[in-house]
Amino acid sequence: MNAYQRLRDKMASASIEAMLVTDNTNLTWLTGFTGSSGLAVVTQDGGVFVTDSRYTVQAESEVKGLPVETFGSPKILPDFTLEQLQSLGVKRLGFESQVVTVAQREDWESRWTGVELVATKDLVSPLRMLKTDEELALIRQACGIADACFDHVQRLFQPGVSERDIELEIELFMRRQGATTAFEVIVASGWRSALPHGRASEKKLEAGDFVTLDFGACYKGLNSDVTRTVVLGEPNDRQREVYNQVLKAETECIAMMKPGVSGKAVDAHARMILDEKGLAQYFGHGLGHGLGRQVHDPGGLSSRSTDILEEGMVFTVEPGVYIAGWGGVRIEDDVLVTADGVEVLTHAPKELLVF
């Protein structure tokens, strides 16, 4: 079933006759448009894609499934959109409340007389949890680039190399592969490895450090998100114990994932495994998140999750232990839920690498 049909079915069950899609990621997912300004109005039997004259040529080649209507100066987007709403006969229009500002809503309300605006929540975005074959192909490529990148930067795991040097090498590597970094690269060494989101700093790697790298590739709009922790020099007993317990939590959680399992149960399992060594208290974030057109895509593995795993969903699995003043370990892979389990999409080595 294509994206439009899935959206129309959801609209019907929510009694929304017409839906305004303005979230840029949802717009790309639905229509294929990759420009920075546009909107879609979707009805049960049609709709329209609206953008301005900067994007006329691009929209005509990219947008699938809706007629494209464009405008130029002196017209402005909300007034042109009203003309389109009127010609579609729209009287009641759902909008994505999570991305529309109060000012934008007020502006629409003042201009769109005769159109009742209905705030919807989680109507469009969760549909992105089930990946299409095209999305999966690109996620696989983004994962492959991240794996190759980890292999490439291992030569920098030496005392005296700065976290920033590693970040720059990752950035360059991604660009050479036709990708960009999916988010600001995390390189956190020594005491800084206890910072779950420690952006690369000027700190130089030192013997005895854990080094946590968290990075991903964004390839043609789809992302990967990988974390590995390595150690410089022979690890001490505590480092080995913490690392092995995080690895055990990660591998056991991946092994239990399959359709029908709840995101909440997988998260709870990670905490139970970490607690075998009294480490759950140092694991403050959720176990994982949906991954796709956004690094943090809809869906998650956490204590608050209401998601039930389905074939075609992609999640990260990323338990971590962060002990202030001592250091930390996180291991993160990307997995695709299959008919009877998961396929791990990232393949960088997970045994404790010693440099």
Residue 225 interacts with Mn ion (CB under 5 A): yes or no: yes
Instruction: Give the interface segment with Mn ion, choosing from 158-166, 195-203, 233-241, 326-334 (CB under 5 A).
Output: 326-334
Residue of minimal Cβ distance to ligand GLY:
214
Nearest Cα to Cα of residue 85 among 46, 123, 115, 63: 115
Q: How many CB atoms lie within 10 A of CB 94?
A: 23
For ligand GLY, the binding residue among 23, 214, 307, 334 (CB under 6 A) is: 214
Which entry of Mn ion, ligand GLY, none binds 183, CB below 5 to 8 A by partner kind?
ligand GLY
Least distance CB 318 / Mn ion (angstroms): 5
Least distance CB 111 / ligand GLY (angstroms): 39
Least distance CB 91 / Mn ion (angstroms): 42
Q: Cα 296 to chain center, whole Å?
A: 3
Residue 307 interacts with ligand GLY (CB under 6 A): yes or no: no
Kind of pairing between the strands at 18-21 and 92-96: parallel
Which entry of ligand GLY, Mn ion, none binds 181, CB below 5 to 8 A by partner kind?
none
CB 310 within 8 A of CB 184: no
Q: Among residue numbers 290 through 319, which ones bind Mn ion (CB under 5 A)?
A: 316
CB 289 within 8 A of CB 315: yes
CB 27 within 8 A of CB 65: no
At 231, give phi and psi (nearest 5°).
Answer: -130, 140
Gyration radius from the chain CA atoms: 23
Least distance CB 266 / ligand GLY (angstroms): 16
Peptide linkage before 74 cis (omega within 30 of 0): yes
Least distance CB 215 / ligand GLY (angstroms): 8
For ligand GLY, the binding residue among 267, 318, 333, 334 (CB under 6 A) is: 318
For ligand GLY, the binding residue among 4, 183, 326, 355 (CB under 6 A) is: 183
Tell whether the torsion through CA atoms of 125, 131, 135 and 139 is positive or negative: positive
Residue 333 interacts with ligand GLY (CB under 6 A): yes or no: no
For Mn ion, the binding residue among 52, 135, 209, 214 (CB under 5 A) is: 214
Q: Among residue numbers 218 through 247, which ones bind ligand GLY (CB under 6 A)?
A: 225
Q: Helix, strand or coil for residue 51?
A: strand
Q: Judged by CB, which is closer to ligand GLY: 167, or 332?
A: 332
Least distance CB 23 / Mn ion (angstroms): 21
* The 3-state secondary structure of 164-182, one letter per residue: HHHHHHHHHHHHHCCCEEC
Kind of pairing between the strands at 180-181 and 217-219: antiparallel
Q: Judged by CB, which is closer to ligand GLY: 70, or 224?
A: 224
Q: Cα 192 to chain center, whole Å?
A: 24
Q: Give CA angle at 241 (334, 245), nearest 5°.
A: 35
Report the interface residues with Mn ion, using CB under 5 A: 214, 225, 227, 316, 332
Report the interface residues with ligand GLY, using CB under 6 A: 183, 186, 214, 225, 289, 318, 332
